[in-house]
Chains A and B, each alone.
Chain A
Amino acid sequence: MKHEVDQGVLRAYLDGELDSERFSAVEQHLHNCSVCSVEVSTLRNHAACVRDGLDRLPGLPDADTSTRVWAAFQKKRDERMDSEQNRWALWQKLSLAGGCLGVAAAALVLTVAPVRAWAENLLAIFRVERFTILEINPAALKTEGLQNNQLLNQTIGRVLSDEITVIQSPQKPQLIANAATASKVAGFPVQLLLGQTPSSLLLESGMGMNMKLDRDRIQSILDEAGRSDLRIPASVDGAIIGVRVPAGVMAFYGNCGDVASRMIGQAGVSAGTKNPSASAEHSVVVHVGGANKSVSEAGVDVSVNQARHANSVNAGETPGQEADATCISLFEIPSPIVSAPQEIDPAQIAQVALQFLGMSANDAANFTQTVDWTSTLVLPVVRGESKYEQVYVKGNEGALLRAANQNQSGHFSLMWVDNGIVFALNGTGDDTAAVNLASQLQ
């Protein structure tokens, strides 16, 4: 006999969360169903066990401290706002859009932290389980002397080319017939939009690289960028950072122009060689919805891989056929894994990177304390140039990004992590449409 009363209903019954009609129906059912009676008893025991456990955790005393706390909060908030305001005024004239600045910030983050830019310009730290948005104040980024600074560019290029060894080189993306084949080849269960057939389905090969950190050389980038005040921790010197990016799958729906065929036409980098030019020309600036401003300036894709392709789609950079508003692109990949020696404290390094991105030392220290750096992928977005919203996709926290000059119906990029797989969905529509679309993945 099919059970009309499932576990969730029984649990709601125990909590008095059913309306009177359903409550009576469940009660009636329990009189006649020994299976459900046992289930209710189990649920009750589990709930009691949780109550027993959580009751042991401390609460705060009940004294009403709100006046004291409100005053303290006001003080802290005003101090924080003041310091940001001052930096805004000082650096207002500076712009973040300069390409070489993007490379500089990107290379710095890549080099000082065990990170790698991933498709859509994400920074992977260890293993990605969730995203956190970090809003960068462009006015606070000390960009004077960075733009068109050839010496800085050269320094970054040299550090990257000397210190990075490609272990597994990325190959050309390949067309795949269907989800079953994609899952088999990529090695994870590929999800696609329910009831829709992709116009193209591509496999992006994996890549692997090792990077040896040289403290003095990294410090020289900071010095060159005018940030000698920031010091790279001694523990990074000589550390080998390993990066493994698994194979991923990209699906296009609707009219995406000729982006898939252009991707297939791109070449990879030879394996086992030093990467001689992983600098400016491999830099990534993510464009959202055709806006020519970077959403996140921090990213260098040394694999010359997914991000560039994804970007061309997003940007609508169409030397060939143009994509239109029906175009949806979906990228999915098991979390990249970054390994680093235990002596390296990611929070300490992140503090340096955050200060470089314009945070005060205090704010950077506070922010690093609230982030689990082993599992959180930080998405830096530039204040004023992009809008972001925290959303939930099938219960997983996600980040929904748009260019600031776009309305709700414009282009979106939605990123989330589900069960170890990182997803990025790009399309056109309002927030609800974006989340609904993402929920259709199966």
Chain B
Amino acid sequence: MSDRWIEAEFEAIFREHYQRIVRVIRRVLQRDSEAEEVCAEVFLRLYRSGPGVAAGGLIGGWLYRTATRASIDAFRADRRRGVEEQVDGSHAEDFTDSPLTLLLRRESIVEVREVLAKLKVEKTQLLLLRHSGLSYKEIAEALQLSVNSVGQKLARAEAEFSALYERQQRQNRKAPQLQAAKEGQ
């Protein structure tokens, strides 16, 4: 196998996978533009790696693995830099929503991403890929796991996510009540 892509072949792969990959990345990252940027870097890496990169598996699996990893890393980097979570205003529905709705939506997005950031990377990848509709076989290929282990790992990741998510929601509900109680004293 040649170590360089044939342009038409690479374009076909790009067109086939781009939308799905950028969508997974966008779930993790805060802006459309950032998701597109990271997605482009993922495809650039695929291009540089040559067609042999997925010789032992499928290109889709490689892309999902690399994209989820890259997006989680970029998200963590954002958190450290203190980049504020924001709801991208580029979507049509945002113009019709009230500021309160936007605020609540932003808070709930922050909650979910905070929980994802606390999980081990593989667990976050599992949840994202399953939620994106990948079958166990596709997840196993993407994360280089045995198919038989996916159910167990997914169950554990979901249990941990649920516990953290519920705790986070309880805390967030408690905070305003405490504040109100303080102010009432």
Question: A: which residues have CB within 8 A of B?
Answer: 6-12, 15, 17, 42-43, 45-47, 49-51, 53-54, 56-62, 64-66, 69-70, 72-73, 76-77, 80, 130, 347, 366, 369-376, 391-392, 395-397, 431
Contact = CB atoms under 8 A, between A and B. Distances in A.
A369 B74 contact: yes
Given A77-B47, A374-B80, 19 more contacts: A6-B152, A8-B150, A15-B151, A46-B161, A49-B158, A50-B161, A53-B161, A54-B27, A54-B127, A56-B109, A58-B109, A60-B26, A60-B32, A60-B35, A66-B19, A130-B121, A369-B77, A370-B70, A372-B76
A210 B35 CA distance: 39
Given A369-B74, A371-B73, A395-B145, A12 B136 contact: yes
Contacts of B152: 6-8, 11
Given A64-B19, A370-B77, A57 B69 contact: no
Contacts of A62: 19
A378 B24 CA distance: 25
A7 B151 contact: yes
Interface in B149-183: 149-156, 158-159, 161-162, 165-166
Nearest to A419: B120
A392 B26 CA distance: 25
Interface residues of B, number: 66
Nearest to A80: B44
A433 to B, nearest CB: 13
17 contacts: A15-B130, A17-B135, A50-B158, A53-B115, A54-B27, A58-B91, A60-B19, A60-B26, A60-B35, A69-B22, A70-B15, A72-B40, A73-B14, A370-B41, A372-B73, A392-B145, A395-B153
Given A7-B155, A12-B136, A57-B109, A76 B40 contact: yes
B112 interface: yes
Interface of B: 11, 14-15, 18-19, 22-23, 26-28, 32, 35-38, 40-41, 43-44, 47, 56, 69-70, 73-74, 76-77, 80-81, 87-88, 91-92, 105, 108-109, 111-113, 115, 121-122, 127-128, 130-131, 135-136, 143-145, 148-156, 158-159, 161-162, 165-166
A56 B112 contact: yes
Given A58-B27, A70-B14, A53 B165 contact: yes
A80 B99 CA distance: 41
B27 A59 contact: yes
A51 B108 CA distance: 13
A12 B88 CA distance: 35
Contacts of A77: 44, 47
B148 A8 contact: yes
Contacts of B151: 7-12, 15, 17
Nearest to A130: B121
A43 to B, nearest CB: 6
Nearest to B79: A372
Contacts of B150: 8, 12, 17
